[in-house]
Amino acid sequence: MKIKPLQIIAHIILIIGVLLMVVPIWISFASSSHDSVTILTEGMKFHIGDQLARNYNEVLNEKGGWSEEVTAAKMFINSFIMALGIATLKVVISAMSAYALVYYRFKLAVPIFWLIFITLLVPLEVRIFPSYKIVSDLGLTNSYTGLILPLVASATATFFFRQFYKTIPDELLESAKLDGANAWSFFIDFLVPLSKTMIAAMFIFMFVYGYSQYLWPLIMTTAEEYWTVVMGMKIIYTESYEGVALPRTAERFAYIILSMIPPVLVVVFLQKWFIKGLIQTEK
Amino acid sequence: MSFLDLKNVTKIYPNGTKAVHETSLSIDEGEFMVFVGPSGCGKSTLLRMVAGLEDITEGDINLDGKLMNEVDPSERDVAMVFQNYALYPHMNVYNNLAYGLKNRGIDKETIEQKVNDAAKLLQISDYLQRKPSMLSGGQRQRVAMGRAIVRNPKIFLFDEPLSNLDAKLRIQMRLEIKKLQQKVGVTSIFVTHDQVEAMTLADRLAVINNGIIEQLGTPIEIYDNPKSLFVAGFIGSPQMNFLDGNLKNKTLSAEGFEIKDVNTEHEGEVTLGIRPEHLVQSENGLINLKVDLVEQLGSDNLVYGQLKNIKDFCYRCPGNQTIEKGSNLSLNIENKKYYIFDKSTGKRVN
Ligand SMILES: Nc1ncnc2c1ncn2[C@@H]1O[C@H](COP(=O)(O)OP(=O)(O)O)[C@@H](O)[C@H]1O
Ligand SMILES: [Mg+2]
């Protein structure tokens, strides 16, 4: 097989892209296997050192925070629960509200849709005080519900689901109706399977969105048992050593590598559906 | 009361379009009824009201003795075959057929039995595991039919189901639909804009124009005895020839010829209609046609020519006759088979 010059150029561009993505991760990983002192004195590393097991063990099991009770493992779990809750509820609520907007032809459907759309202009950071007030009045501070609930409405996902449902021909609904489907079974038997690639994609985006939340958990949680990964990144390896010892750079790298695992797992797990949907169109 | 009864049914869409005007119609059990008319005349609307997919603005629809106006489509026990088939893209053929049965809470074995029987009847047993996207147009058509048959509904509704097929397949499926309906014996309404399809399929035919049933009858009644100019022009291929004329004292004078002893008392401006197949060549005929063009179909020749000021006047003769372009033909009307319509109302007067 002859390789054309164009192909070579394309491959070079792709390889550069891959390197741009992978190299920083590799540096973090390599650096996480050295001593903090080595990194501080010699800079970041490209090769694996001998402190791998020790650093990771330390990160996962060491108790940190003011109370010396919260571990990184606990924070991963917290973040995972929060992200899972946000992603699941966002997808479910958006899919259902889009269903209502598209299929129940009430007069206010369009204004309501635009109202939902406008909320894109007021992200959580803008409405953080009222949100905090409401959540705290409900007594939901320091709870998973409190972490998740204010973030579950999504204009973006509603928009995408709405656009998708609009492309589904009316005859499909009509023929399902004649086959005895009711509103609920049409949603479950038709819209959900037809939009499963869309659901997978939305779930991935929303999971990463939930996982990388910083400001909201920071304000919401006073009890350390609800701390999340991104908060920990800032907090956990500074306080206890403030001014006294060297910054624990190697452990931070280990922490970063570990913190990537949950979203990567979600992507890997859902990728199968996602790709399948991209290559075999079913409409 | 007959099996399906429409009484003064009117449909006005929310945007004000009046699609169906006070239509009344009765269909007997087991009958194959065809709605035919030009695009936009309201035939789909009428069908969709029977299915329950459109609200009825005024009037009543009764099916099997029950008033249907407020009954949900899922409760009506009707099945519909759509123009684009509307198969469920994410389900395989088996599940496409089984879905309606599942919703009725029928047990698994019975469903399997019914689906397999329907599949066999339609010769789609080999594709049961395939998704609709992996089927040809004709196979999809069969699946759509199967989905209707398997439920054994009170009535089949077809909305131009053949118009997405190529000409050859269309004729084949037309025949199969007719055979299938006779075999299964389910009351059916078939909507089409194609008059040949309508003529061949129908037990009875409703010719619809502008939301009104212009004429109702068997295909032959309508062909032999069109009640209006519209029906006369719509049914029959090639189309009926129309000439302007004037009626006075039972004598019709058209361009270049006269017909005496017309069986009507009507007088005034009229339109004379003559079917191309009702003309015969004879010496000293009424009509003198100057041949412009001959279409040879094998079995027949379609001869188009000029008659005084009228262009494209059509005469149909057996295919074994040779007719030269540019020649003059002398034609007579067979057995007084001509139709006279009032020019202003379009109503038949003879
Ligand atoms: N949903 C609708 N809203 C408004 N007008 C409609 C709608 N559907 C059909 N019409 C109008 O009603 C008339 C009849 O339509 P239809 O029954 O679809 O005609 P056909 O099936 O005979 O071609 C047309 O003038 C069409 O434009
Ligand atoms: Mg139509």
Tens of pLDDT, residues B201-257: 999 999 999 999 999 999 999 999 999 999 999 999 899 999 999 988 888 888 878
Q: What are phi and psi of A76, to 5 degrees?
A: -60, -45
Q: How many domains does chain B have?
A: 2
Residue A56 lies in a domain: no
Domain C-terminal end among B198, B230, B262: B230
Please check whether residues B222 and B247 belong to one and the same domain. no
Residues B180 and B250 in one domain: no
Region for A221 from its dihedrals, namely left if φ exceeds 0, alpha if ψ lies in -120 to 50, beta otherwise:
beta
Last residue of a domain, one of B203, B230, B257: B230
Q: Would you say residue B348 lies in a domain?
A: no
My answer on whether B221 and B96 are in the same domain is yes
pTM: predicted TM-score of the whole model, two decimal places: 0.83
| Residue A86 falls inside a structural domain | yes
Whether residues A177 and B84 touch (CB distance < 8 A) is answered with no
Tell whether B186 and B326 lie within a shared domain. no
Closest partner residue to A282 among B79, B86, B89, by Cβ? B89
ipTM of the complex: 0.84
Same domain, B161 and B256: no
Minimal-distance CA residue of chain A relative to B131: A282
Which residues in chain A are contacts of B44 at CB distance < 8 A? none
Q: Which ligand is nearest to the CA of B212?
A: 1
Which of B230, B263, B281 is where one domain is finished? B230
Which pLDDT band holds residue B258 (cuts at 50, 70, 90)? confident
Which residues have beta carbons under 5 A from ligand 2 (an ion)? B 44
* Confidence at B334, pLDDT banded by 50, 70, 90: confident
B131 and B77 in a single domain? The answer is yes
CB interface of B with A, residues 126-185, below 8 Å: 131, 133, 147, 151
How large is the average pLDDT for residues B279-290? Answer: 87
Whether B24 has its CB under 8 Å from any CB of chain A: the answer is no
**Residue A261: inside a domain:** no
Question: Tell me: the pLDDT tens digits for B311-320?
Answer: 889 999 988 8
* Residues spanned by the domain of B253: 238-342
Ligand 1 atom nearest to CA at B159: 21
Indicate yes or no: CB of B88 within 8 angstroms of CB of A190: yes
CB contact under 8 A, B89 and A283: yes
A177·B73 Cβ contact <8 A: yes
Could you tell me if B191 and B303 lie in one domain? no
pLDDT digit string, tens, across residues B91-138: 999 999 999 999 999 999 999 999 999 999 888 999 999 999 999 988
Euclidean distance between CA atoms B52 and A174, whole angstroms: 9
| Structural domain includes residue B334 | yes
Domain with A167, as residue range(s), is 70-236
Clarify whether residues B170 and B305 are in a common domain. no
Query: From B71, which residue of chain A is nearest by alpha-carbon distance?
Result: A178
Q: What is the pLDDT of residue B266?
A: 86
Residues B115 and B13 grouped into a single domain: yes
Q: Is residue A118 part of a domain?
A: yes
Instruction: State residue A282's pLDDT score.
Output: 46
CB proximity list for B85: less than 8 A, separation 6 or greater: B132, B140, B141, B143, B144, B161, B164
| Residue A39 pLDDT | 79
Please tell me the distance in Å from B335's CA to the nearest CA on chain A: 49
Q: Tokens in use for B181?
A: 């309906």
Closest by CA to B151, choosing from B124, B111, B187, is B111
**pLDDT tens, position by position, B160-188:** 999 888 888 899 999 989 998 998 889 99
- Domain assignment present for residue B300? The answer is yes
A185 chain-B contacts, CB cut-off 8 A: 103
pLDDT in tens for each of the 283 residues of chain A? 667 888 999 999 999 999 999 999 999 899 888 887 787 788 887 888 888 888 888 877 777 656 666 778 888 888 999 999 999 999 999 999 999 999 987 888 889 888 888 888 888 888 888 989 999 999 988 899 998 988 888 888 999 999 999 999 999 999 999 999 999 999 999 999 999 888 988 898 899 999 988 888 888 888 878 888 888 777 656 544 455 566 777 888 888 888 888 889 888 888 887 776 566 554 4
Residue B259 lies in a domain: yes
- Check A174 against B82: CB less than 8 A apart: yes
Please indicate, yes or no, if residue B40 is contained in any of the structural domains. yes
CATH number where B295 lies: 2.40.50.140
CATH number at residue A109: 1.10.3720.10
Shortest Cα distance from B183 to chain A (angstroms)? 23
Q: Total domain count for chain A? A: 1
> So what's the pLDDT on residue A239?
47
Please choose, from the candidates B69, B137, B79, the residue with its C-alpha nearest in 3D space to the C-alpha of residue B104: B79
Q: Is residue A252 part of a domain?
A: no
